[in-house]
Structure formats: structure tokens, C-alpha cells
Structure 1
Amino acid sequence: MVFENILSEQKGRIQYITINRESKLNALNKATLAELHVAITTGFNDEGIGGIIITGAGPKAFVAGADIAEFAALDIAGGRDMALDAQTKVFDIIENGNKPVIAAVNGFALGGGLELAMACHIRIASDNAKLGLPEVTLGLIPGYGGTQRLTRLVGRGKTLEMIMTADMISAADGYQYGLINHVVSPAELLPKAEELLNKILLRAPLAIASAIKAVNAATLPGTQGFETEIDEFSKCFGTSDLKEGVNAFLEKRKADFKGK
């Protein structure tokens, strides 16, 4: 597929996805979300890709929100379809993916942009990044999982404050609240994301996938997280990677995992 709104390239075992609508501050319109769905699912299904880094084109914005122009003609049913489509085809797929996804947040991450970053497993932000969920200034609330994921990350009180005031916070505040994993200079943003992902890629891929599933189960309604952990733990014993990891430990050498 030829992409018009994003860039997708592979370097080594890392897939780099860049939201490429710089003139629109990389706003997420319907077409961009559709392209993200294709790029992300392709990466998750490609054995040659171990993980994904998502960022925005240019220095100003990661993603400055949804494309508001698309909201004008929507009614209740249209709004529901928009939220459901985006959540199930992009945001939930990222969160529940079998490979690590890191958001490299450069500049504004507002509305749908912050929701995209929160769906990723790890968030690294440049020190000039601004984060927020300003939907109530439009008469809306976050619709791409923002109310749920932000609550899990920073707690109910801070989530309600951020959403109800619509205020932006700095990357430093985001780090303090637990929303951001690392804050670096703009020049260090992608190198830091690459460094972290490359470290993860040295670990057992099937174990990483199991860890994602088990950790996600900790906050899913109706899910027994401890049972999920036990199930995923036990599945690891059926992998060649576990045998390799144990042998490497006993033989005092680095493990060479194959994802099998």
C-alpha cells in the first residue's frame, strides 16, 4: 500500500512510523487512521520486525489532535462509529499488540495525539513537548480511549483535572505524573527510543508478548490478571526461547533468542 499521510520504513528490526501531515500538525483524520491500521498490523505480522517506534513529522507536533473538520457533519451515531472504529482498528491494536511500541513524542501531543501515545507501551518525550486532552473546549470528551488510559497511568484525580480544565502539561510534569517514561532533548528523542527498543529486542520475543498481555490484564475489567499471568508464564515453558535462556544462563553466555 502506498501511504499518503504516514511514512513507514524498516531499519534493522525496528519499524519507524511517522505521522506525515506536518502542515496540519499531524492531525489524525480518517485516512491517516486507516493507514496507521495497515502499517501497524503489517509490522505486528512481519517476523522481521521486532518493535515499532511512532513519531510525528517536523519539530512542532507528535500529533496535535484529531482533524476537527471531520466532526462537523457527525450526529450521535456518526460519533459512536468514529470512536469505535478508531479504538478497535488502531488504539486497541497497538495496546494489545504482540510487539513493543514506543511513542517518541516531539512537540504537541493533544487529544487524539496523546491518546495515540498512551496506547503505546512506552512514551518518551522531548523536553519541549506539551501534552493534554482539550476536548471539552469543543463540547466533547476524549473518544479514543483517553479517559480510560490516562486514569490507569496517572490516577482518577489528575485525569479529571487534565480533562476538565483542558490545560496542557509539560513533558516534565508528564514524567512526574507517570504519563511519560523518559524526557530528553529533541536531538536525543529518536536515539533514546532506538536505544530502549534495541535493548528490548535483545530479550525473548515470545516472553515480551506474554508480558504485554499479562500487564494489560491488570487493568482490564472482568479479567483475572493473576490467572492471565499464570497462563502466560506456563506458555513460556513450551518455547525454545526458554530453553535457550536457561542454557545461556547456566553456561554464562548471552542468549540468542529466535522467537520460537
Structure 2
Amino acid sequence: MNYENILLSIEDGIAHLRLNRPAKRNAVNNGLLQDIEAALDGMGADATVVVISGEGAHFSAGLDLSEHQVRTPFEVLQHSQWWHRVFHKVQFGGRPVVAALHGAVVGGGLELATSTHVRVAGRSTFYQLPEGQRGIFVGGGASVRVSKIIGPDRMTEMMLTGRRYDAEDGYRLGLSHYLVDDAEVLPEAFRLARQIATNAPLSNWASINAVANIGDMSMANGLYTESMAAALAQSSDEANKRMQDFLNRKKG
């Protein structure tokens, strides 16, 4: 399938989804969201891990303000919930997603990035939530995802002041998990994707779904859910085979 705003390729089980609006710094508009959602929905079993990157000098500079339109409160609510739905599919769609970040990771671009599971940043990367300066509020999940990573207090300050964090700051705060030279961002992202693809699929699924949901639960409910996820993963045929292979290697 051809897309207007992204490029998609799948090779050896790794899907590469590239935001392809470089003239707009990969700013997020309706068309880009539609293409991301369609690509995620259309991926078959041949795609086990996804790498998301941005074409050109930036990952994504956020909401495309050039396409701003006046909406009623209900229309804004529905539009925000659409962003939530798409980024929920990134986070909970069943496939591990690795983000390859460089340049601007701003506003909606940061909301997309923080819906992924593993984030590799180049040294040109910078992070910002400029919505306060635009007279708007985040609507793509930042108040949940970014806030969980850096804390509500720091996110509030970030929005009030328009503060920009550089790549080192982002790595220190957890906005990225890896920090490498820009030329190494994609190679490192694909190295990690290939490594993740060797995991048992059920283990990957549990890592994606159970951990995030347990974080929203009480201690008692979280521990119960952990036990249920462990029961599913550890009783599978593949888990038994992998454990036997591991034990046999140790004996050898």
C-alpha cells in the first residue's frame, strides 16, 4: 500500500515506518495520523518489531499549525481522542516499537516518541512542549506519558516556560534510553529491533502490555496481574523449549 505521508518497508520481520514530511519538519497533520494508523492496522504477521524514524533533519516538530482550524469544544475533544487512539495503537498494538530520534522531538512529536517502547536519540535531538506559547494544551497524551517519565512538576515547568531540553538532558531524564552520534541512530535502532525480535513473542507482548497497566494499578492488583502475566508466559511451549535449551547449554 502506498502512503502520502509515510514510507513503510518490512524486511526480516522488522517494519520501518518513516515519517515523510521533511519540508514540514515531519509536523503531525491529519494525513500523517491517518497513515500511521493505517500502517499499524495493516501490518501482518511478517512484522514483529517496528522502527519509527523521521525523514530529513527532524523526527517531528509537533502539530502542523499551518493546518490549524477553529473547532468547537466537542470537535477538539474528538480530535484529541483520535490522537490518543493512534498512539495507543503504537504503545499497545502488540509489537515492540523502537523510535530513532534526531533533531526536533517537539509537542506531538514527543507524544508519538513517548508512546514507543525503546528510544534511541542522536546528539542533535532536542525536546520541547511549546503548547503554552501557542495558547493551547497538549492533546496527544503528553500529560500522561511525558509526565510519567519526567514527573508532573517538571512537565508543568516545561510547558509554562517553553523550556528546551537537549539530547543529554533527555537521556538523563529518560526521554531517550540510548544516546549515540546522529550517524549511529538508525543502525542502533535496528540492532535493538533485531535483538527484540529474537525474544519469545508472548514475552514481548507481556512486556508491552502488563508493565504499563501494572503501573496504573494498586499494589495488590499489580502483583496479581504480574502473576497472571508470568503464568501465561512461563507455561507456553516456547518458554519451556527456551528454558530447556538454556539449561542444556549450561550443562554442556
Whether the TM-score (by the shorter chain) exceeds 0.5 is: yes
Where does residue 6 of structure 2 map in the other structure? 6
1:182-210 superposed Cα distances (whole Å, 9 cap, x missing partner): 11111100001011111111211111111
Where does residue 70 of structure 1 map in the other structure? 67
The structure 1 residue matched to 2:201, chosen from 191, 197, 205, is 205
TM-score w.r.t. length of structure 2: 0.94
The structure 2 residue matched to 1:55, chosen from 48, 53, 56, is 53
The structure 2 residue matched to 1:164, chosen from 143, 160, 164, is 160
Give distance in 2, aligned partners of 1:69 and 1:215.
38
User: Offset at 1:73?
Assistant: 2.0
User: Offset at 1:227?
Assistant: 2.1
TM-score w.r.t. length of structure 1: 0.91
SS of the equivalent of 1:7 reads strand
Superposition pairs for residues 84-123 of structure 1, below 5 Å? 84-88=81-85, 90-123=86-119
After superposition, the Cα gap between the structure-2 partners of 1:125 and 1:35, relative to the gap in structure 1 and judged at 3 Å, is same
Calculate the aligned-residue CA RMSD, in Å: 1.6
User: Offset at 1:81?
Assistant: 1.1
| Structure 2 residue 83 is matched with structure 1 residue 124 | no
Instruction: Assess if the C-alpha contact under 8 Å between 1:152 and 1:219 holds in 2.
Output: no
User: Offset at 1:15?
Assistant: 0.2
One-letter amino acid of the counterpart of residue 22, structure 1: P
SS of the equivalent of 1:15 reads strand
Give distance in 1, aligned partners of 2:132 and 2:75.
18
User: Offset at 1:98?
Assistant: 1.2
List gaps (5 residues or longer) in structure 1.
Answer: 254-260
Instruction: Assess if the C-alpha contact under 8 Å between 1:3 and 1:35 holds in 2.
Output: yes
Give distance in 2, aligned partners of 1:10 and 1:153.
30
Question: Number of paired residues?
Answer: 249
Give distance in 2, aligned partners of 1:146 and 1:70.
21
List gaps (5 residues or longer) in structure 2.
Answer: none
SS of the equivalent of 2:67 reads helix
SS of the equivalent of 2:175 reads coil
Instruction: Assess if the C-alpha contact under 8 Å between 1:96 and 1:216 holds in 2.
Output: no
Give distance in 2, aligned partners of 1:14 and 1:138.
37
Where does residue 223 of structure 2 map in the other structure? 226
Give distance in 2, aligned partners of 1:105 and 1:2.
24
SS of the equivalent of 1:53 reads strand
Give distance in 1, aligned partners of 2:66 and 2:225.
42
Where does residue 192 of structure 1 map in the other structure? 188
User: Offset at 1:72?
Assistant: 2.6
One-letter amino acid of the counterpart of residue 39, structure 2: A
Give distance in 2, aligned partners of 1:236 and 1:171.
36
Where does residue 23 of structure 1 map in the other structure? 23
Which stretch of structure 1 is more off in the superposition, 213-222 or 199-208?
A: 213-222
Instruction: Assess if the C-alpha contact under 8 Å between 1:14 and 1:51 holds in 2.
Output: yes
SS of the equivalent of 1:62 reads coil
After superposition, the Cα gap between the structure-2 partners of 1:250 and 1:222, relative to the gap in structure 1 and judged at 3 Å, is closer
User: Offset at 1:221?
Assistant: 5.8
One-letter amino acid of the counterpart of residue 190, structure 2: E
User: Offset at 1:241?
Assistant: 1.0
